[in-house]
Chains A and B, each alone.
Chain A
Amino acid sequence: MTRSRSFTLIEMLIALALIVAMVFILMPTASRIMSSTTAASDHNHRLAQIALVSDVLDRAMLTAVAQDAAGRSAFQGSETSLKLTTCGVSLSPREAGTPDDLQTIELVFSGDTLSLRENGGSREIILTGIEKGTFAYNTGEGWAESNDGASGLPGVVAVSIWLRPNELEPVADDAEPDAFEEQDEHEPDWRRVFAVFDPAGASESSQGGGV
């Protein structure tokens, strides 16, 4: 009968040292993979939220009307909020006496969120993790921080959103700042200009004017 030799102390210590070394080598990689996957998931979630904001605004601007049923200005825009009336059939419940084909949409930047309120209903948060968000309006006479719709609908509305930095996303150490970036405040993470379709403006444009 052969006698099996047990491991010596030195063999055990070397094996243990190798295991510890391998854990230390693989730990940062595993950690980076985990955080990167989480950051990617978070990023995709934000992209989906921004796509929703973009879609809501796109549809609202295409169907915006200058006056409500009572003949008042139907467009109220400030730097942090935008309320407009659109035409079209809505499936959401509305107050008695409200015309069926007119509905109101209100978007408000508040705290670190952007909320949506339709037809005076409850507010629904559609974007989170915002550092700052602004609306800007252009009627052809430059960008303004507000527009009360008194002189009709603005030509375009620009929406700019600065997102809170994602702590999970790696920051490149060697990233050189843009020469112009240093002079101004940093550019928003998302910005889009929406054309406001104004049937009155469209009919006027066919009669003249030029760029």
Chain B
Amino acid sequence: MSRRGFMLLEILLAVTAAVMVATAGYALLDRVSGRVQQSSERLAASDLACSALALMEAGLASPENLNGSLHREVISLEDVEAGVMVRDPRYRLEIETTPSKWAGLVQVDVRVLPAEGEVALYEASQLIPSRGPSRGGGG
């Protein structure tokens, strides 16, 4: 029995299998990298939101100071020394304040967005004193 001509099919099958394995590998690699990147961004965004709320709660920065880009050349951040702890050129903050039903407290909503994007990475809300504490400085 002659097996002449069968080798080409074997090679094609082997090459196809190799290509499929490589493609699956790259897809898995992309997915793992994407997840790692996503979790890092979310952690950074939540830390920024919580830090901004902490600075406002302590009366060291006002919503107006922190609203906008967190790039260090932004003037509003340079006006507040406390702001150096939340500067990050990769993100910007959108901060809204609304009156609350509790006297002396105002609701602050913080959204963290990528510097150039429109999809919020993290959102946090908190009631903070509407007037800074007497120990608080530079606003």
Contacts and interface: CB of A to CB of B under 8 A. Distances in A.
Interface string B16-45: 001001100110110011011001100100
A156 B55 CA distance: 7
A149 interface: no
A140 B60 contact: yes
A72 interface: no
Interface string B81-96: 1101110110000000
| Chain B interface helix/strand/loop/mixed | helix
Given A193-B54, A195-B57, A207 B32 contact: no
A70 interface: no
B137 interface: yes
Interface residues of B, number: 55
A209 B132 contact: yes
Interface string A169-195: 000000000101000000100111111
Interface stretch (A23-31, A82-90, A96-104, A113-121): A23-31
A2 B3 CA distance: 12
A11 B60 contact: no
Interface string A136-168: 101111110000000010011010000000000
B124 interface: no
B89 A180 contact: yes
Contacts of A195: 53-55, 57-58
23 contacts: A4-B3, A33-B29, A33-B32, A40-B33, A138-B137, A140-B137, A142-B81, A180-B71, A180-B72, A187-B88, A190-B43, A192-B47, A193-B55, A195-B54, A195-B55, A202-B133, A204-B135, A206-B104, A207-B134, A209-B131, A210-B131, A211-B59, A211-B131
Interface of B: 1-3, 7, 11, 14-15, 18, 21-22, 25-26, 28-29, 32-33, 35-36, 39-40, 43, 47, 50-55, 57-62, 71-73, 81-82, 84-86, 88-89, 104, 129, 131-139
B58 A155 contact: yes
A193 B89 contact: no
B48 to A, nearest CB: 8
| Chain A interface helix/strand/loop/mixed | mixed
A50 B3 CA distance: 63
A156 B14 CA distance: 63
A82 to B, nearest CB: 15
